[in-house]
Structure 1
Amino acid sequence: MKKAALASAIVSLLCLASANAFATPRAGQDAAKVTPDMIQTGSDIPAKWNLPEGNFDYVRREVMIPMRDGVKLHTVIMIPKGAHGLPMLLERTPYDASGMMPGKSPKMADAVWSGDKDWADGSTILVAQDIRGKYGSEGKYIMTRPPMGPLNPTKTDDTTDAWDTIDWLVKNIKESNGNVGMIGSSYDGWTVAMALLHPHPALKVAAPESPMIDGWMGDDWYHYGALRQVNLDYFTGQMTKQGSGETVPRDNYDDYTNFLQAGSAGDYAVAHGFGQLPWWKRFAAHPAYDAFWQLQALDRLLVAHPSNVPTMWLQGLWDQEDIYGAVHAWEALDKAGHGANNHLVMGPWWHSQINRDGWNMGPLKWPGNTTAQFRQQVMIPWFQHYLRGMPLATPLPQAMIYNPVEQRWDSFTDWKPASEQSLTPLYLQGDFGLGFEAPSGGGDNYVSDPAKPVPYLARPIPQENDRWRTWLVQDQRFVETRPDVLSYTTPVLTKTVTVQGAPIADLFARTTGTDGDFVVKLIDVYPGTVPSDPTMGGYELPVSMDIFRGRYRKSFAEPAPIPANEVQEYKFRLPTVNYAFKPGHRIMVQIQSTLFPLYDRNPQTYVPNILFAKPADYRKATITIEHGADGKSAVLLPVAGNAAL
């Protein structure tokens, strides 16, 4: 057959097949019949979907609990099936109670967020509540709503809301034994601390984890007056919507570039619409530690209104967000004579890591899951002792602090508040040495240029940054060779130097400017080679560091210009440690004037409010660190035992 004829035949067959597809059924063939059950005229989405829960091992309830002023707060309650006489664990949060306890699994341990999994073993009723004005709760949201008083003229605060919530729970949850514990981290830790100012009689035990205690002195917003400007995203995330708000959009991948191009932190905020936020307006009007901040400092309020509730003040040794609150609250209470029912716990963790896995802290690896071990072996048994009368195998010590070098928990019956510690000066020496002997004289200088600030992490530093959680343990070799960073180092240690407590930076410095910041880092320098972990060879591990804004050297409430070219003393506390510098290692102290973009740049020219410094205010300054007749700069160490190099 020729090609043309073959093609014609194929076309004819295809046409015949197509015609047969639409042909009337022949005799004997049944036509397809449409019955009424095939037709849906409404929506295929039911008005309400009810998940069958017959095989669930818990009952999930959502209720609106009324407060004394009539406002109702959205509350999620998870009750083990068949529960009778169980205690309740309450967490009050601005982070979505429903999201913390979604209840989308038959097993209670799989139906709650990671922080509650170990609690969801059938022994405890779990309760999560949205605070006022957030997510499902009624009322007005106010950032860390101040206690009733000069800053809060209403008749309610998070103390009364906790009281009213607990009162409702013990009266309405028939499966409970009437005992309540409170727990929560960060903002949720702040709500626990607020509940302790006037606790309900049914509140039997509490654990504020990494709580926001003083936002100006050293928690989320400022550190000794230096603004933590990367936390501005938290403002929009919390206050642009009742639910989860948006982060600030970025022009560049690298936040170092974004904040540098913006100018001042105030310029950055205004450019991104912060003028619409009442909190920003209050915040920006009070850059110094005035009554606005002092009246919200919970460590002071806890001492003024001490409770008898057994309380575990818990935080991480490298908490990148709230490293100040727990230890200062505990110290204030202990110093005021309330140490019997208050305990300090510090683990080898980043912020809120206690609620997640704890196998490591950045490059530091632990011999087990430290967080799970602590929850299961210490925290939960301690709570159940007060909530259910369960016996304790070992009483909780006054302080329980992890030793990251020896990789063990150390217990202390006489842990001293920082103000009562004995301190040993580790002096800056000539030729960038460091030692316990007083220096003979001299000084070292560097030029701090606000146009080229020292980064807190190796660039680029994106907005979504996996290194944020562990920036406090990042290898500091990436800045050691910068001309605006001074590094002082001891000889190789021949014996262990153990530091237990809060180091104090004590700098004597001159500047050509009229303002300036000082960053001090206490660092463990590893040997050049580490056979057990080659990646740690020469690692410069920060053990404790912080920043201090120079205008507050005499008073946090009343800033003053720095007299140019005159030696001034800058003395400030570094975060608490329990650390052993081992033989073969060296101790290093680094000093610099910027830690960017984590902290806003000091213009180094005195202006009334650094938040709104103008471009012309930002000027280079030469800083001289003295270690001689004009001042013996040092880091004062709480050394355990005798120290020698």
Structure 2
Amino acid sequence: MGFMSRIMSKMLKLPPAETYDIAVERDLKIPMSDGVILLADHYYPRTLGQRPTILIRSMYPDRTKGGYMGEIIAERGFQVVIVSGRGVCGSGGEMTPFMTEHEDGVAVLSWLKEQTWFDGCLGTLGQSYLGFTQWAIAYEGGSMLKAMSTQMTSSDLRSIVYPGNAFSLEVLLGWLSMIDSQEASMFRNLGNIILGGKRRKKIAWHLPLIDLDKVMTGKEYEFWRSWLIHDDPKDDWWAPGDHSHMISKVTAPNHMISGWHDFMLPSTIRDYNLLRKSGQEPYLTIGPWTHFDTEAFSMGINEALIWLRAHLLNDRKNLRDSPVRIFVMGSQEWREYPYWPPANIKYQHLYFQPSGGLSAKFPPVSEPDHYCYDPVNPTPSVGGFRSFGQGRPVLDNRFLEERTDVLTYTSDVLDYDMEIIGPVSSELFIRSTLENTDFFVRVCDVDPSGKSLNVCDGLLRLAPGRPNPAPDGIKKIKIELWPTAYCFQKGHRIRIQVSSGSFPRWNRNLGTYESLGTGMKMAIAEQLVYHDPHHPSAIILPTSEL
């Protein structure tokens, strides 16, 4: 034991190990309530006596192909149990992503309590799916759950699948491809990494969406089809995958980690706010990362180990004082605060103006701006959160802004540095020829050369009655953009884009009344965006005093 873990520890810049004398028990059998058997590996330091246990539950090959992580954590003073979920890596049952993690997690906790080596002191850590499985048992962990670190994750499934109530096509198609090939040969996995992005980009155009599992993998996946069938936000089908309602009852200290370009960032911030509202004081770290950033992974495991040692081993020497640490883009610096969002922010409305202007002044009487959205030629995704490392998150948007289906509103040149830190939203007054349509809003930083770099964005899917129009037929909608921390430099300008899609990040809104999964007919949406005294469309920015 120790060779691979030493290499990975060096790559991840981890603190020194307590020991390299690690033992492992493999393929331990854990019975679930319905008789299904899950397999687990148990790592423990031979010479450090009885130590607290770190639980990791995954539906990825963390146990069979990534066992070094168990060693790394055990070398730093913990016992580690890694459990493979249903239908993966030798565990029994059928693959049921997200939906049985609460029930199965409770069974794992019961099994742990029966083990002679378990001292009743438990911690959890993990990113993405491994963060979701932490939330699934956070309340049931009770007093024995001493600390957790949920990273790049969400406590509920639907917010991952339907951000803004629209299907997160690119991310989910990439995830489906990964799940299908994760236990295949090294050559197939390598091919999926090298060629998978181009192939998925082509497959994303296929209709109907419900058949994309067969087009991508050659077989049907029940979870893929269920996600598309149950697209109504009020559908009770999602309840087993929603643990957000239990967050207020969770008492275990949590260090939450995310990135400004992570597709789960809004959910992470929501979960943080729920903990704060219930009286907890979670830690929060947000860097300039995507979901799959290697720097984020390195930072995450380092911070988690510091956090778990502080709360499980009473080793607080490396624990920072300030609960919140965020990276401010634009000025490229880390900043620390007692909580999120900072106390000194003020929300400023910048109103859309005629002829593409953007100003703090209320708009004058003016005619609305018009564009057409055609799902045959959808507005493309440029930058932003992308699937499985495909493309950089920040790109020049000028060619996108030249399209006739994209409106832009640009401020005057800034004569001072303007910093925004916190939640960002947009209020639009719109009219559409279709009841089923989308609106996408993006904030960009325009430098003196004219380069337009995306900062944050968000999309909202409209449907009949969601929302209802005013008597004049105009709808007021509020779009929640990704939160951010960004400094617009003196001499730059702020630009707002408005369009009706970002494909393939989100699926194309076909504009018809056909079901999401089986729809194939398309309709063109003619959109009006108003900017007058009675309909003052605006971006709302959390400005921070420098």
Do residues 475 (structure 1) and 364 (structure 2) align?
Answer: no
In 2, Cα distance between the equivalents of 1:178 and 1:78? Answer: 16
Question: Which one-letter code corresponds to 1:622 in the other structure?
Answer: E
- Equivalent residues in 2 for 1:450-489, closer than 5 Å: 450-457=375-382, 466-468=389-391, 470=392, 472-489=393-410
Name 1:179's counterpart in structure 2: 121
Cα offset for 1:201? 3.6
- For 1:259 and 1:100, locate their aligned partners in 2 and report how far apart those are by CA, in whole Å: 29
Partners of 2:299 and 2:179 lie apart in 1 by 33
Q: Does 1:125 align with 2:125?
A: no
Aligned equivalents of 1:100, 1:626: Cα separation in 2:
55
Task: Supply the AA of the counterpart residue of 1:213.
Answer: S
Letter in 2 for 1:573: E
Aligned to 1:263: 207
Corresponding residue for residue 422 of structure 2 = 501
- Counterpart of 1:467 in structure 2: which amino acid? Q
Q: Equivalents in 2 of 1:521, 1:90: separation in Å?
A: 39
Correspondence for 2:295: 357
Aligned to 2:535: 631
User: Does residue 1:293 correspond to 2:238, yes or no?
Assistant: yes
Q: What residue number does 1:550 align with?
A: 462
Aligned: 1:324 with 2:266: yes
**TM score, norm. by length of structure 2:** 0.84
Residues 398 and 413 of structure 1 are in contact (CA less than 8 Å); yes or no, is this contact kept in structure 2? yes
CA contact under 8 A between 1:189 and 1:207: conserved in structure 2?
yes
C-alpha distance in structure 2 between counterparts of 1:549 and 1:464, whole Å: 20
Q: Match for residue 61 of structure 1? A: 25
Q: 2:47 aligns with which of 82, 90, 93?
A: 82
Please give the alpha-carbon distance, in whole angstroms, between the structure 2 residues aligned to 1:541 and 1:158: 44
**AA of the residue aligned to 1:93:** S
Alpha-carbon deviations, 1:449-508, whole Å to 9, x = none?
1111121148xxxx997434x3x3222223121111112111111112221211111111
Distance 1:273 1:375 in 2: 32
Q: Following TM superposition, by how much is the alpha carbon of 1:227 offset from its aligned partner in structure 2, in angstroms? A: 1.0
Whether 1:519 aligns to 2:440 is yes
Counterpart residue type for residue 476 of structure 2: E
Instruction: Label 1:87 to 1:292 Cα distance change in 2 as closer, same or farther (>3 A).
Output: same
Task: Please point out which of 314, 332, 352 is paired with 1:428.
Answer: 352
User: Residues 206 and 293 from structure 1, CA distance in 2 versus in 1: closer, same or farther, beyond 3 angstroms?
Assistant: same
CA–CA separation in structure 1 for the residues paired with 2:455 and 2:465: 24
Asked whether the equivalents of residues 423 and 541 of structure 2 are also in contact (C-alpha less than 8 Å), the reply is yes
SS in 2 for 1:331: helix
| One-letter code aligned to 1:229 | L
Structure 1's unaligned 5+ residue stretches are: 1-50, 103-110, 149-156, 359-370, 529-537
Please list the CA deviations of residues 99-157 of structure 1 after superposition, one character each: whole Å capped at 9, or x if unmatched: 4544xxxxxxxx448xx75x464433333221233212223431202577xxxxxxxx1
> Contact (CA 8 Å) 1:345, 1:400: kept in 2 or not?
yes
For 1:373 and 1:284, locate their aligned partners in 2 and report how far apart those are by CA, in whole Å: 35
Larger proportion of strand:
2
Unaligned runs of 5+ in 2: 4-18
Give the match for residue 197 of structure 1. Answer: 139
The residue number in structure 2 matching 1:390 is 315
Compared CA separation, residues 600 and 464, structure 1 to 2 (3 A): closer
1:38-57 alignment, distance < 5 Å: 57=21
2:255–2:307 CA contact under 8 A, matched in 1: no
Aligned-partner Cα distance in 1 for 2:388–2:288: 21
Among candidates 493, 501, 507, match of residue 586 of structure 1: 493
* Distance in 1 between residues matched to 2:342 and 2:276, nearest whole Å: 8
How does 1:98-247 map onto structure 2 within 5 Å? 98-102=63-67, 111-112=68-69, 117=72, 119=73, 121-146=75-100, 157-168=103-114, 171-172=116-117, 178-217=120-159, 219=160, 221-230=161-170, 231-235=172-176, 237-238=178-179
Tell me if the contact between 2:350 and 2:538 (Cα under 8 Å) persists in the aligned partners. yes
The reply on whether 1:284 has 2:228 as its aligned counterpart is yes
Whether the aligned pair in 2 keeps the contact of 1:509 and 1:567 (CA below 8 Å) is yes
Matched, 1:344 2:258: no
8 Å CA contact retained: 1:446, 1:624? yes
The verdict on how the C-alpha distance between 1:215 and 1:394 changes in structure 2, with shifts beyond 3 A counting, is closer
**Residue 553 of structure 1: how far off its partner (Å):** 7.1
Do the aligned residues in 1 keep the contact of 2:132 with 2:153 (CA within 8 Å)? yes
Q: What TM-score results when the alignment is normalised by the length of structure 1?
A: 0.72
Letter of the structure 2 residue corresponding to residue 134 of structure 1: V
Q: 2:362: which partner in 1?
A: 438
Which of these two proteins has the greater Rg computed from alpha carbons?
1
Q: What amino acid is the match of 2:113? A: D
How many residue pairs were aligned?
518
Distance 1:191 1:372 in 2: 20
Instruction: Measure the CA separation in 1 of the matches of 2:36 and 2:82.
Output: 17
Query: Residues 347 and 572 (structure 1 numbering): CA distance in 2 closer, same or farther, change over 3 Å?
Result: same
Residue 433 of structure 1, CA deviation: 1.3
Deviations for 1:280-302, whole angstroms, at most 9, x for unmatched residues? 34323211102223563322232
Partner of 2:247: 302
Q: Is the partner of 1:409 in helix, strand or coil?
A: strand
